[in-house]
Chain A
Amino acid sequence: MKKLLPVCLGAALCLLGGCGSDTSNENIVIVYNWGEYVDPDTLAMFEEETGIEVVYDEFETNETMYPKIENGAAEYDVVCPSDYMISKMIQNDLLLELDFSHIPNAKSNIGSQYWDQSRTFDPENKYSVPYCWGTVGILYNKTMVDEPLTSWAQLWDEKYTDEILMQDSVRDAFMVAEKMYGYSMNTTDPDELQRAMNALIAQKPIVQAYVVDQVRDKMIGGEAAIGVIYSGEAIYTQYENADLEYVIPSEGTNVWIDSWVILKDAPHKENAEKFIDFMCREDIALKNFEYITYSTPNEAAKALIEDDEIRNSPIAFPDLTQYDNLESYTYLGEEADEVYNELWKEIKSY
C-alpha cells in the first residue's frame, strides 16, 4: 500500500503532463498572437489548404507575452509582438533570421514604406514581417471644439479643461510631450525627459483622465472632447459617432507596427514560414483587415478593398512619405526603462 502511492502519483503526473514529450514531430504550427487579431476563418482555411494544424494562443500585452517566451514555458513557433518588443527580443537573441525565399508573399505584397519603417526596430529587416500597423493621433469631437486641432500643443490649451483624455501608458504619454518639443520619442537624454515630465505635470490639471481602452467608449458617448487614440480605434469610433475627427498632429507621431516573427527555438520552423507566407497572401490579408479593421501593410490586399472610402481613407492609410517626423518605439534598455517608469510615477502621483 505504501509503495503503491508514489507509483500512482508518478503515473498520474505523467498522464497529466504528457511526460514532457515534445511536439516537434507533429504536423502543427503554434501561433501566439494578440487577442481578436485574426479572422478565425483564415485559420481554418490554412489548415484545409496545407494540412497543418494550427494551435492558436492569445496574449493581451507585450509585457505578459515576453516572460512566457523568454522562459520557454510553451513551445511557440510564430509570435506577433509590437515594434519595441521585437527590438528587445532581437537584442536578447530570441528570434530566428527569416529565410525570405520561403516567404515569397512577404516581399512581393508588403509595401516598401512599411519595410523602411520597420528598420527602426529591425535594422536589417531580417527578423520580422509587418502584419498590422497604425498611428497615434488626436481624436476630437467637432461639435465640442471651435477650431480644428492640428497639434499636440493644443492639448495644453486651458479652454479644454476636463475635456482631454490621455493614454495611460508610459511611452504613449511621454511620446506626446516629447514630440511637442520636437524630441525623439526614443530619447534617453535626462534634460529632455525632465522637460517632458514637467510638461505632463503642467498638463495634468486640465486632463480629464488617463485611460486605456475607455477612450473609445468615452469619445463615442461624448463624455470628452479630445482624446489621444490609436488610428485603428479611430475608424470604429467614427462609424459609431460621425462627429468625431482624427488627425495626425503636425509635430509627428508614433507609427506602431505589429509584426510576425519566428522564435529561435521554434519546433516547427517550416510550418511557421508557411503560416507567415499564408498570412501575407492578399486574399487572406484582406479578410483579416476586414475582421480586425486595423490598417494592413499589405499593398496587394489594399488594392482589393472594394469600398473606395476605406481604401483612400487618410486614417486607415495615411501617406507616410508626406511626414518626416514619424517614428516607432525601440527598446531603450533596462536602465532607460527604469528612468521612464520613475518619472511616470512622479507624474501620476503629482
Chain B
Amino acid sequence: MQTVKKIYVSLIFLFLYAPIGTLIVLSFNASKTRSKWGGFTMQWYASLLQDEVILDALTTTLLIAFLSALIASVIGTIAAVAMNGMKRRTRTLLIGVTNIPMLNADIVTGISLMLLFISIGLRFGFGTILLSHITFNIPYVILCIMPRMKQLNPSVYEAALDLGASHITAFFKVMLPDLMPGILSGFLMAFTMSLDDFIITHFTKGAGIDTLSTKIYTEVKKGIKPEMYALSTIIFVTVLILLFLVNKTPDKKEKTN
C-alpha cells in the first residue's frame, strides 16, 4: 500500500514538473531547436541580460502585477467590509455580481474592456493594462477576504468602539489585523492572476508596450527564443526559493514563542 501511494504521488509530481524540467534543460541547450542537444551553454542567460526588449517586458509585467494587486487589495478590502455590513439579501446579490467576471471567459472581458476604453477615449498603453488588471483582480481579492470576514467576531469591533476608539481607529487596530491573512492571500492571488494573464492584456495594450506573456506569444511564428527559456527558469527558481522561505518562517516563530 505504501509503495502504491508513493508511486501515485511521484506520478503526479512527474506530470506537474516534467514540462518545467524540460524547459530548464532547454535553457542550457546550445542549439536553438528542442530536438537537438548542442552542448551545455550559459549563453542564453548572458544574452538575456543584454536583451532590453525582454527586460522591459519583465519590468512592465512585474510593475503591473504589483500595482494592480495592491490597488485591487485596497478596493477589494473596502468592498468586503461594506458588503459585510449589508443585509443578507443584498450581500448575496452583490457577491453573485462580483463573481460573474471570474466565470466570464477572458476574451469577453478583454474585448468589452477594449470597447469601453475606446468609447471613453482613453489612450491605450500602460494605464489601460493596469486598469483592466485591477478590474479582473478585484473579484479574487473579495473572494479571499469574505470567508475571513465571516469568521470575525463583531463583538470585538463593538468593544473597541465602546472603549472609545473611533470607527477608523477601530478598523485599523482591530478589524484589519484580523483580516490580514485574507488580504495577503487575496494580494498573492491577484498578483499571480495578473502575471498569468495574456488575453485581456492583448486586447487592452497599446502600441510599443508588452508584458512577458504577450511578448512570448508574438514569437510563436518564428519560434520562441531560448532567452525566454532562461528567463522562465530564473522566474521558476525564484518562486521556488520564495515558497521555501515562506513555508519555513512559521516553524521558527512557533519555536521562539
Q: Footprint of B on A, CB under 8 Å?
A: 13, 15-23, 30-32, 34-37, 40, 55-61, 64, 67-68, 71-76, 212-213, 216-218, 220-223, 240-241, 292
Beta-carbon contact of B122 and A221 below 8 Å: no
| Cα distance A38–B35 in the bound complex, in angstroms | 26
Chain B contacts of A240 at CB under 8 A? 31, 33, 36
Interface residue from A59, A68, A71, A218 paired with B35 (Cβ < 8 Å):
A218
Tell me, in angstroms, the Cα distance from A37 to B36 when the chains sit together: 24
C-alpha gap A37/B219 in the complex (Å): 9
Most A CB within 10 A of own CB, among B35, B124, B125, B207 = B207
In angstroms, Cα B4 to Cα A106, docked, is 69
Kindly provide the distance from the CB of A239 to the nearest chain B CB, expressed in whole angstroms. 10
CB-based contact B123/A17 at 8 Å = yes
Q: Mark B107-131, 1 if CB is under 8 A from A, else 0.
A: 0000100110110111111111011
Question: Which residues on A sit within 8 Å (CB–CB) of B128?
Answer: 16-17
CB distance from B96 to the nearest CB of A (A): 25
**8 closest A-B pairs by CB:** A221-B35, A35-B218, A16-B127, A17-B122, A20-B121, A58-B218, A36-B222, A55-B208
Are A68 and B222 in touch, CB under 8 angstroms?
no
Q: Is the CB of A220 within 8 A of B221?
A: no
Task: Tally A-B pairs: CB < 8 A.
Answer: 115
Residue from B53, B127, B221 within 8 A of A60 (CB atoms): B221
Q: How far is the CA of A341 from the CA of B131 in the complex (A)?
A: 36
Cβ of A144 to closest chain B Cβ, rounded Å = 15
**Chain B residues, Cβ within 8 Å of A217:** 33-35
Smallest distance from the beta carbon of B39 to chain A beta carbons, Å?
Answer: 14
With contacts A58-B218, A217-B34, A218-B35 taken as known, whether A32 is within 8 angstroms of B207 at the C-beta atoms is yes
Which A residues lie within 8 Å of B118 (CB)? Answer: 71-73
CB neighbours of A13 from chain B (8 A): 122, 131
For the complex formed, measure the closest distance between the CB of A345 and the CB atoms of chain B, giving whole angstroms. 19
B219 touches A35 (CB 8 A): yes
Q: Beta-carbon contacts of B191-210 to A below 8 Å, as 1s and 0s?
A: 00000000000110111111
Contact indicator B221/A34 (Cβ below 8 Å): yes
A122 to nearest B CB, angstroms? 22
A74→B127 contact, CB < 8 A: no
Q: Do the beta carbons of A57 and B207 come within 8 Å of each other?
A: yes
List 18 A–B pairs whose Cβ atoms lie within 8 Å, in order of A's numbering: A13-B131, A16-B131, A17-B123, A35-B219, A36-B223, A37-B222, A40-B53, A57-B206, A57-B208, A60-B217, A64-B202, A73-B114, A73-B118, A213-B220, A218-B35, A220-B35, A221-B36, A241-B36
- Contacts A64-B202, A72-B118, A74-B124 given; indicate if A34 touches B207 (C-beta within 8 A): no
A267 to chain B, nearest CB (A): 11
Q: Which residues of A contact B125 (CB under 8 A)?
A: 18
Minimum C-beta distance from A80 to chain B (A): 11
* Residue in B208, B218, B221 with the greatest tally of chain A CB atoms within 10 Å: B221
A213 to B32, CA, bound (A): 14
Interface string of B83-113 (1 = CB under 8 A from A): 0000000000000000000000000000100
Whole-angstrom distance between the alpha carbons of A58 and B121 in the complex?
Answer: 23
Q: Are A216 and B219 in contact (CB under 8 A)?
A: no
Judge whether A223 and B220 touch: CB under 8 Å: no
Q: Are A18 and B221 in contact (CB under 8 A)?
A: no
Given A36-B218, A223-B35, A74–B207 Cβ distance below 8 Å? yes
Residues of A within 8 A of B127 (CB): 15-18
From A19, A30, A57, A212, name the one whose CB has the most chain B CB atoms within 10 angstroms: A57
Q: Which of B130-145 contact A (CB under 8 A)?
A: 130-131
Q: Judging by beta carbons under 8 Å apart, are B33 and A35 in contact?
A: no
